Amino acid sequence: MNKLIVSTLLIIITSLACSSNDPITDRNVAPLEPTALSPVYASSSTFADGGTVKGVANSDSLSVNEVQGGIRVSGTGTVSVEPDVAVLDIGVEVFAGKVSNARSEASIAMDSVISTIKKLGVEEKDIQTTRFSISPRYDYEETIINGKRVGTQVLTGYTVSNTVKAKIFEVDKVGEIIDSAADAGGDYVRINGVDFTVDDPSPYKTTIRKMAVEEAVNKAQEYALLTNVELGPIISLDEMGSGSIQSPYEADYGMRMMMAAAPTTSINSGQLEISLTVNTLFAIK
C-alpha cells in the first residue's frame, strides 16, 4: 500500500515538472512582423554593421538602426564683411652686456612706441602686454684642454624683449601708425604682424544661422529624395564654430623694420569671412 502511494506521488510530481517547462503562449498577442522598408533598402547588402547605412561623404549620413535612426547632415552659413579693427603686434628687443642696461634701453624704446601710437588715437585700454622676457645670450668658443679641442659656452650679454598688442579701430590709419611707431622705437622695434578682425560679430550671427539651417534642410530633403524615404521632423541640432572669423590676410613684417629711408607702409585690410556650422539629425517617417 505504501509503495503504491509513493509511486502515485512520484507520477504527479513528474507531470507537474514537465508541464512547467512548456512555453507560455498568449493567443491574444499578434506575432511581430518586420518593418516594411523602401525597395532602396530591400537587399541585405544595403545595410552594414547591424542595419546602419554608412559611406556618405563628410558628416552627412542616413542611418536606420534600433537606437536612433534618421538623416544626419551639416549646414554652413558664411558672410563676407569688411574688418573694423586691426590688431598690431609690436615690441622692442634690446641686447646689452648687462641686464640693467638692456632693461633701461628697452624701457625707453617701448615707452616711446606706446606714446606715439597713443597720440595717433590708440587708447590705453586697447594696449596689452603679451610678452616680456630677459634671457642670456651665449657664444661658443673652442679651447684646447689636455691637447683636445673642447667647445665652451661663453656669456656675451642679455636680451630684453617687450611685446604688446594694440587694437586700432581706425583701420585706414594702420600704415601711418606702423611707420610712426617704427620711427619712435628705432632699430629696437620688432613688428610681428597685423591681424584684422570684427570687433562685434554678433549682428551677423542671425544671418549665418539662417543660412546654415537652410543648407542642412536642403541636404536632408535631397538625401530623402535620393533614398526614397519621407523626411520627418528635426530631432537634434548642434551649433559648431559660434561665428568664427577667418582672415585671408596677415601682414608679416619679420623681426625688424629697416629705418633707412623706408617708404610709407601700405596696408590692405581686405575682407573677412564669418562662418558657422550646424550638425542636424532629421527623423525618417
Higher model confidence: residue 129 or residue 50? 129
Specify whether 89 is located in the same domain as 128: yes
In a domain, 159, yes or no: yes
Higher model confidence: residue 245 or residue 98? 98
Instruction: Report residue 127 as a C-alpha cell.
Output: 594696449
Specify whether 53 is located in the same domain as 91: no
Lowest mean pLDDT among 196-200, 238-242, 253-257: 253-257
pLDDT in the model for residue 116:
96
Specify whether 110 is located in the same domain as 96: yes
Find which of 54-63, 115-124, 133-142, 257-266 is predicted with most confidence, using mean pLDDT.
115-124
**Euclidean distance between CA atoms 234 and 70, whole angstroms:** 9
**Euclidean distance between CA atoms 182 and 102, whole angstroms:** 19
In a domain, 256, yes or no: no
Domain final residue pick, 173, 197, 221:
197
Specify whether 71 is located in the same domain as 209: yes
Find which of 33-42, 118-127, 253-262, 265-274 is predicted with most confidence, using mean pLDDT.
118-127
Query: pLDDT grade, residue 52 (50/70/90)?
Result: very low
**Which residue has 611685446 as its cell numbers?**
163
Is the Cβ–Cβ distance between 263 and 72 less than 8 Å? no
Higher model confidence: residue 224 or residue 259? 224
Q: Name which of 86, 94, 91 is nearest 120 in CA terms.
A: 86
Specify whether 76 is located in the same domain as 208: yes
pLDDT in the model for residue 271:
85
Amino acid residing at 279: N
Instruction: List, for residues 144-184, the tens digit of each pLDDT value.
Output: 778 788 888 889 999 999 999 999 999 999 999 999 999 99
Domain final residue pick, 197, 215, 235:
197
Specify whether 47 is located in the same domain as 99: no
Is the Cβ–Cβ distance between 259 and 166 less than 8 Å? no
Residue-wise DSSP of 114-146: HHHHHHTT--GGGEEEEEEEEEEEEEEEEEEET
pLDDT in the model for residue 7:
52
Domain final residue pick, 163, 181, 197:
197
pLDDT in the model for residue 149:
83
- Span 52-79, average pLDDT: 62
> How many structural domains are present in the chain?
2
In a domain, 179, yes or no: yes
**Euclidean distance between CA atoms 267 and 175, whole angstroms:** 6
- Number of residues that this document lists for the chain: 285
In a domain, 188, yes or no: yes
Higher model confidence: residue 265 or residue 207? 207
Domain range for 216: 43-82+204-247+275-285
Specify whether 91 is located in the same domain as 193: yes
- Span 43-65, average pLDDT: 38
Q: End-to-end alpha-carbon separation of the chain, Å?
A: 72
Specify whether 77 is located in the same domain as 208: yes
Instruction: List, for residues 184-223, the tens digit of each pLDDT value.
Output: 999 999 999 999 999 988 889 999 999 999 999 999 999 9
Is the Cβ–Cβ distance between 229 and 43 less than 8 Å? no
3-state SS assignment for residue 54: coil
In a domain, 38, yes or no: no
In a domain, 32, yes or no: no
Specify whether 108 is located in the same domain as 173: yes
Specify whether 208 is located in the same domain as 76: yes
In a domain, 10, yes or no: no
Q: What percent of the chain has pLDDT over 90?
A: 56
Domain CATH code at residue 216: 3.30.110
Domain CATH code at residue 144: 3.30.70.2970
143 pLDDT exceeds 90?
A: no
Specify whether 193 is located in the same domain as 225: no
**Which pairs with CB-CB distance under 8 Å and at least 24 residues apart come from 135-138?**
135/159, 135/161, 137/95
- Span 244-263, average pLDDT: 47
Instruction: Report angle CA 133, 139, 140 to the nearest 5 degrees.
Output: 140
Specify whether 74 is located in the same domain as 102: no
Q: How much is the mean pLDDT over the chain?
A: 77
In a domain, 56, yes or no: yes
